[in-house]
Amino acid sequence: MFYWRTKQQLGSVLKKKRIELGFSQEYISLEIATDRMGLSALENGKANPTLFTLLKLSGVLHVKLWEVLREINV
């Protein structure tokens, strides 16, 4: 249960950042070299992102990875 909730929170934080910047899932997907469905799964807490994917996402979203992780309530 704990792990599932953490994935949900991570996805929510990333989605919030993406929307704040006005970026579409398609744009982000192209920037990090993944498909839109994979990004959607990540944002919905259904995917297990690698550290490399999280680093690429944080770069595209103009936020430090530790700032994203700080927003997760674990």
Domain ranges of the chain: 2-70
Between CA 61 and CA 73 the distance in angstroms is 20
Q: Which CATH class is domain 2-70?
A: mainly alpha
Query: Which has the higher per-residue pLDDT, 49 or 1?
Result: 49
Confidence of residue 73 (pLDDT cuts 50, 70, 90): confident
The predicted pLDDT at position 1 comes to 53
Q: What is the pTM of this model?
A: 0.89
The predicted pLDDT at position 49 comes to 92
Query: Any residues with CB less than 8 A from the CB of 9 and at least 6 apart, and which?
Result: 45, 71, 72, 73, 74
